[in-house]
Amino acid sequence: MDEVQVLERYLLIGALLFGIGLVGFVSRRNMIVMFLAAEMMLQGISVSLVAWGRFHNDWGGQMLVIFILTVAACEAAIALALVLMLYHRSGKLDIAFWQTVREANQPRYVDQQLPDEPLKVEHWPTLPPAGVEPVRSDDEVIHRSHV
Amino acid sequence: MSTAAQTIAIASALLAGGLWLQLPRGNSRGRWWGIVLAALGVCLLGRLVVRLQPEHWVGEAVFFGVAATTIVSAIGAVTMRSPVYCALWFALTLVGTAALLLFQGAQFLGIATVVVYAGAILVTFLFVLMLAQPEGHTYYDRVSWEPLLSACTGAVLIGLLSASIFLPASGKPAQSGWKNDRWSATERKQEIVHPQHMAHVGRQLFSRYLVAVEVAGTLLLVGLVGAVAIVSHGAPARQTGEAVERDRLAAREAHHG
């Protein structure tokens, strides 16, 4: 197949991953989900870079992705430490809790009231009892020969 | 306006609507419509790159299966209410990305993505989730910041990026020097898709990119120190080691005496 067509495909997938990750990062409020969305944007970049590297028959793309992995690992460590610290201070993973650090001329964000979620009673599968229950002597239960 | 431009515009609009309907907005009305719209948008975009090739149909089917898995699980990862589901969908995205990298001959990166992301980063974050997550969906998981605006932003970005890939105005690849016939298939086999891929990666990494490797090592060290500093600085003040030791000795004496 034509190399240009291969490149187009991977660039399109990279663009989709980046855009979806951006939507997640901007709109979600859970700090951990925000972090996952940021990682997804990095994945989109990685796919595009490797595609370009293959297209130009050059190692630069793959090498850059290796360093992206390194930076992502560092980022994960720092983000994890930050999230844990913020969680210990506020007791929740909500990023809106920290809106006091916004700029002075920005209005305060007020949550709308939400109705409670309907309670769902979960029915988990159970195993039917099978076989015969062994006869237990009281003597053995009290003085077990082994634990 | 060309057909490609129309396709991209319609697909972006569909994606925006689909993502908006799927994002948490306090209720789950219209989620199925969101899924349908987003799927239509992705399929429209995919139509731009599908060329029917009956002789390679197995490879094509596998490729489009992997690509569809990646995109669908990416949408799932940003729209699920429960963060644990988000993490699981993201794991599927990672597996799809790793497969895409393998498809391009990046064997080391494919494996490293699964090991580093899915194996280390994601599992660590699942640990944090299990520490921090209360029962049921919390309030902040059921609403999002400006779902309509953010969905539109993302869709516009996707539309612009794909327009820059496919539209002739910005240089259709085949017409504007993107054409790449400098390397034949055999020459490619000697570089990126070489049988001894790992040996080539290592040689490149420790010769041409040696300084970058050193810098990356330093960065990892700085990141480690920074993480420890943030956690220990932010935690509430604890007893000093001496006080803990004194308490332990006192407890032991009370136990024995």
Contact check, Cβ <8 Å, A76/B121: yes
Reported confidence tier of residue B223, pLDDT bands at 50, 70, 90 = very high
A vs B: CB pairs below 8 A: 284
Predicted confidence at residue B176, as pLDDT, reads 45
Residues B74-105 pLDDT 10s: 999 999 988 889 999 999 999 999 999 998 88
Contact check, Cβ <8 Å, A12/B45: yes
Calculate mean pLDDT across residues A115-139: 80
What is the share, in percent, of chain B residues with pLDDT greater than 70? Answer: 85
B54-92 CB burial, b ≥16 within 10 A, e <16: eeeeeebeebeebbbbbbbbbbbbbbbbbbeebbbbbbb
The sign of the dihedral angle between the CA atoms of B88, B94, B100, B105 is: negative
Select from A16, A49, A83, A98 the residue whose CB has the most chain B CBs within 10 Å, as the one to mutate to test that interface. Answer: A16
Is the per-residue pLDDT at B106 higher than 80? yes
- Contacts of residues A99-107 at CB distance under 8 Å and 24 or more positions apart, as own/partner, are none
Report residue B71 as tokens: 């995109």
Return the amino acid letter for B22: Q
Q: What CA–CA distance (Å, rounded) separates A83 from A66?
A: 25
Predicted confidence at residue B134, as pLDDT, reads 66
For residue A98, list chain B residues with Cβ-Cβ distance below 8 A. none
Contact check, Cβ <8 Å, A57/B174: no
Residues B247-257 pLDDT 10s: 777 877 877 75
For residue A82, list chain B residues with Cβ-Cβ distance below 8 A. 230
**Cβ atoms within 10 Å of B135's Cβ, excluding its own:** 5
Report whether A102 contacts B250 (CB < 8 A): no
Here the ipTM equals 0.84
Closest-approach residue (CA) in chain B for A37: B78
Say which of A29, A33, A84 has its CB closest to residue B86. Answer: A33
Say which of B79, B151, B158 has its CB closest to residue A15. Answer: B158
Contact check, Cβ <8 Å, A29/B234: no
What is the share, in percent, of chain B residues with pLDDT greater than 90? Answer: 41
Say which of B101, B145, B174 has its CB closest to residue A26. Answer: B145
Select from B104, B176, B191, B208 the residue whose CB has the most chain A CBs within 10 Å, as the one to mutate to test that interface. Answer: B104
User: Collapsing DSSP states into helix, strand and coil, what is residue A80?
Assistant: helix
Residues A35-74 pLDDT 10s: 999 999 999 999 999 999 888 888 889 999 999 999 999 9
User: Collapsing DSSP states into helix, strand and coil, what is residue A94?
Assistant: strand
Report residue B120 as tokens: 């280390």
Contact check, Cβ <8 Å, B228/A69: no
Look at A102-111, B106-115, B130-139, B227-236 and tell me which has the smallest mean pLDDT: B130-139
Q: What CA–CA distance (Å, rounded) separates B25 from B129?
A: 22
Backbone φ/ψ region at B136: left (φ over 0), alpha (ψ -120 to 50), beta: left
Contact check, Cβ <8 Å, B48/A12: yes
Residue A128 to residues A125, A136, A140, B104: CA-CA distances in angstroms? 10, 21, 27, 50
Closest-approach residue (CA) in chain B for A47: B101
Predicted confidence at residue A36, as pLDDT, reads 93
Residues B158-190 pLDDT 10s: 999 998 888 765 444 444 455 555 666 677 767
Report residue B213 as tokens: 């490797």
Residue of A100 and B194 predicted with greater confidence: A100
Q: How far is B223 from chain A (nearest CA, A)?
A: 5
Say which of B100, B201, B223 has its CB closest to residue A10. Answer: B100
Q: How far is B12 from chain A (nearest CA, A)?
A: 10
Q: What CA–CA distance (Å, rounded) separates A106 from B40?
A: 38
What is the share, in percent, of chain A residues with pLDDT greater than 70? Answer: 97
Q: What CA–CA distance (Å, rounded) separates B12 from A141?
A: 70
Predicted confidence at residue A10, as pLDDT, reads 93
Q: How far is A130 from chain B (nearest CA, A)?
A: 33
Contact check, Cβ <8 Å, B158/A19: yes
Residue of B34 and A114 predicted with greater confidence: B34
Q: What CA–CA distance (Å, rounded) separates B85 from B160?
A: 30
Give the list of residues 6+ apart from residue B218 with CB closer than 8 angstroms, or none.
none
What mean pLDDT is reported for chain B? 84
For residue A93, list chain B residues with Cβ-Cβ distance below 8 A. 83, 132-133, 138, 140
Q: What CA–CA distance (Å, rounded) separates A44 from B55?
A: 29
| Interhelix angle A60-90/B210-234, nearest 10 degrees | 0
Closest-approach residue (CA) in chain B for A92: B132
DSSP state of A147: -
Most confident of A91-95, B6-10, B133-137, B172-176: B6-10
pTM: 0.83
For residue A110, list chain B residues with Cβ-Cβ distance below 8 A. none
If DSSP states are collapsed to H, E and C, what string results for chain B? Answer: CCHHHHHHHHHHHHHHHHHHHHCCCCCCCCHHHHHHHHHHHHHHHHHCCCCCCHHHHHHHHHHHHHHHHHHHHHHHHHHCCCHHHHHHHHHHHHHHHHHHHHHCCCHHHHHHHHHHHHHHHHHHHHHHHHHHCCCCCCHHHHCCCCHHHHHHHHHHHHHHHHHHHHCHHHCCHHHCCCCCCCCCHHHHHHCCCCCCHHHHHHHHHCCCCHHHHHHHHHHHHHHHHHHHHHHHHHCCCCCCHHHHHHHHHHHHHHHHC
